[in-house]
């Protein structure tokens, strides 16, 4: 038997994947000609908390909470920006040295 007869009935070409290429994105219709502020239901003189969501106003506690989050994030960024790579490695090594032997990798096997 020659090798050309063995592969005579094999289909050629690339493999076809299920579902590939069949889905196309639909275009959004432009039915409204109103400005974006009117569509959202907010006016241009909002209190600056537009990301909160619609007509809901933030309480004093929510505003303080978000302000503290921003301050902590700024502190973290300033701290990480001030450290060099060498300082970070030194701190990491000190942290590992402080851990107990409980965290060491156990020896497995005889010897």
* 34 contacts 41 by C-beta, under 8 angstroms: no
Model confidence at 19: pLDDT above 90: no
Residue 69 phi, psi (nearest 5): -60, -45
pLDDT of 49 strictly over 90: no
Count H helices, E strands: the chain?
4, 0
pLDDT at 55 over 80: no
106 vs 62, more confident: 62
Burial of residue 100 (number of CB atoms within 10 Å: 0-12, 13-18, 19+):
exposed
Per-domain boundaries in the chain: 58-104
pLDDT-derived band at 34, boundaries 50, 70, 90? low
Higher local confidence (pLDDT), 100 or 25: 100
Over the chain, what is the mean pLDDT? Answer: 76
Of the spans 24-28, 33-37, 44-48, 89-93, which averages the highest pLDDT?
89-93
Annotate 32-57 with DSSP letters as a single string: --S-HHHHHT--TT--S-GGG-TTPP
Q: Report whether pLDDT(7) > 80.
A: no
Express as a percent the part of the chain with pLDDT over 70: 66
């Amino acid at each position: 038997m020659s090798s050309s007869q063995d592969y005579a009935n094999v289909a050629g070409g690339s493999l076809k994947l299920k579902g590939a290429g069949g889905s196309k994105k639909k275009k959004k219709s432009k039915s409204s000609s109103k400005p974006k502020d009117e569509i959202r239901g907010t006016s241009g003189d909002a209190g600056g908390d537009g990301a909160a969501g619609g007509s809901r106003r933030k309480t004093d506690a929510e505003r303080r909470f978000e302000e503290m989050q921003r301050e902590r994030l700024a502190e973290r960024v300033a701290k990480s920006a001030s450290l060099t790579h060498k300082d970070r490695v030194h701190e990491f090594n000190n942290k590992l040295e402080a851990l107990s032997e409980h965290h060491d990798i156990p020896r497995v096997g005889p010897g």
